[in-house]
Amino acid sequence: METKQPKMMTVREVARTGLLSEHALRLMLKAGKLPAIYVGNKALINYDLLCQRLAGLSGDVN
């Protein structure tokens, strides 16, 4: 059984996809709300998991 490797991206790479702004990503990273790991001082975000989490959010603001 093969396991799919997660797509790990830097903050700038994720921002270039248009998913969230670089500023928003950095704020979320600082708050510990992103699925990320650190390699040295560089954060690598699990892009697939981030997309899943954002898709699971409700669009209701009531």
User: pTM to 2 decimals?
Assistant: 0.82
User: In the chain, count of helices (H) and strands (E)?
Assistant: 3, 3
pLDDT one-digit tens code per residue, 4-60: 898 999 999 999 999 999 999 999 999 999 999 999 999 999 999 999 999 888 665
The residues, ordered by sequence, that sit 6+ positions from 61 with a Cβ below 8 Å of its Cβ are: none
